[in-house]
Homo-oligomer: A and B are copies of this chain.
Amino acid sequence: MSKDTEIIDTGASVGLVQRHTFTFGKTGDTLKLESGRELASVHLAYETCGTLNADKTNAILVCHALTGDSHVAGYYQEDDPKLGWWEIMVGPGKPLDTDKYFIICSNVIGGCMGSSGPVTRNPEKDKPYGTDFPVVTIGDMVSCQRRLVDSLGIEKLLAVVGGSVGGMQVLEWSVRYPDRVCAALPLATTTKHSAQAIAFNEVARQAIMADPKWNGGDYYESGRPEHGLAVARMVGHITYLSDESMRHKFDRKLQDRGEVSFDFEADFQVESYLRYQGNKFVNRFDANSFLYLTKAADYFNLENQYGDGSLVAAFSRAKCRYLVISFTSDWLYPTYQSKAMVKGMKKNGLDVSFCEIEAPWGHDAFLLPNERLDKLIGGFLDRVHAECALGADNEI
């Protein structure tokens, strides 16, 4: 019924992978956050696939979306039923080809999948930070990733790739560290949330904060705000699909019944699906972390941060090649937002490829099998690899 239950042939896998932890800050190298606050010690969970070449020019950083993690491809044990979240894109012979490239993916700061965030133990109080954890930004996420890249001895990333909130990190990388990136691939993303996108996030946050178990964020011993978090996920989930894809998947089909129930059970498949998604999410995600990550996405505003309100001014800092991709049915980050960023890039004479891919699946399209997407990304990376990593002039 959903992509979770469809059997998708993901092709050859990178196989066994291991999660690593990178820690910084202990030796006086504290992280100064955009809020002005500092963190003395930061952990980033990360994974890698493929092999870093001798001159370290084949590294691609993959940035995950809102509630993603570092497990981008492969599996942890031989019998692990769960493959990496971008298994269709990352592996031998795939667009992010692990026979050629060294892939890095780290969990963002503020997340709950191994990196420092509200779940992390606060050394000053000997309990999880909760909402004492500082509010982080997309810039802070990228600043942490840069230190990870430094620690791997990589001077310049061949590419930074990501969709949705991952795409925001890609854009941030290209402008914040212009000398550290050959190519940037922002997919299904935006340089700033619309009022409508902020509104959906705010409703989701309010659902969590309205749950009495949220308790101001201090719930790690008293029991988690599961109901609120499930509702928050349901709101988000609708925005990841589209009117058309929901009609195609569910239409008005009933769930395990021939007639409506005349009560408040889940009569329709779409209701049952959303309840399932909400409950499943609760098992893997932290409610506070959801608050932090949605806030970071809402705060993101590339033109304000780097261009005093002008996208042209913001991208005047950039030096990389871009592949910008949007999807026709993505109403969370509609194509007009991608077109605006492309215009800002082109006005600076940057090398930009842009494609709006015809796809009915809504915002989630960047995570689903799509031959067009594969070819665009694979072809673009081949070109970048030839021009940048294989000895050509690194500047455009």
Chain A interface (Cβ < 8 Å from any Cβ of B): 35-37, 131, 134-135, 192-196, 198-200, 202-203, 205-207, 209-212, 227-228, 230-231, 234-235, 238, 241-243, 246-247, 249-252, 260, 262-264, 266-268, 270-271, 274-275, 278, 291, 295, 298-299, 301, 331, 334
A206 to B238 alpha-carbon distance, docked (Å): 14
Q: Across the interface, do A196 and B238 meet the contact criterion of CB distance under 8 Å? A: yes
14 A-B residue pairs with CB within 8 Å: A192-B252, A195-B268, A198-B268, A198-B270, A199-B234, A200-B238, A202-B266, A203-B274, A210-B211, A212-B212, A243-B331, A252-B301, A260-B299, A264-B295
Q: Across the interface, do A275 and B195 meet the contact criterion of CB distance under 8 Å? A: no
Which residues on B sit within 8 Å (CB–CB) of A267? 298-299
Query: Min CB distance, A26 to chain B, in Å?
Result: 25
Query: Min CB distance, A199 to chain B, in Å?
Result: 5
Given contacts A207-B231, A270-B202, whether A243 and B194 have CB atoms under 8 Å apart is yes
Query: Min CB distance, A75 to chain B, in Å?
Result: 32
Which residues on B sit within 8 Å (CB–CB) of A231? 203, 206-207, 210, 231
Q: Which residue of B lies closest to A241 (CB)?
A: B196
Q: Which residue of B lies closest to A332 (CB)?
A: B243
Q: Is the interface of A mostly helix, strand, loop or mixed?
A: helix
Given contacts A193-B252, A211-B227, 17 further A-B contacts (CB under 8 A): A194-B243, A195-B246, A195-B247, A195-B251, A195-B252, A198-B271, A199-B246, A202-B234, A202-B266, A202-B271, A202-B275, A206-B275, A210-B227, A210-B230, A231-B231, A235-B235, A264-B291
Task: Select A270's contact among B195, B234, B263, beta carbons within 8 Å.
Answer: B195
Query: Min CB distance, A381 to chain B, in Å?
Result: 33
A195 to B278 alpha-carbon distance, docked (Å): 17
Which residues on B sit within 8 Å (CB–CB) of A211? 210, 227
Given contacts A262-B35, A298-B268, whether A334 and B243 have CB atoms under 8 Å apart is yes
Which residues on B sit within 8 Å (CB–CB) of A36? 262
Q: Ordered nearest first, which 5 A-B pairs have the shortest CB separation?
A: A210-B227, A195-B246, A35-B262, A195-B250, A135-B262
Q: Across the interface, do A203 and B264 meet the contact criterion of CB distance under 8 Å? A: no
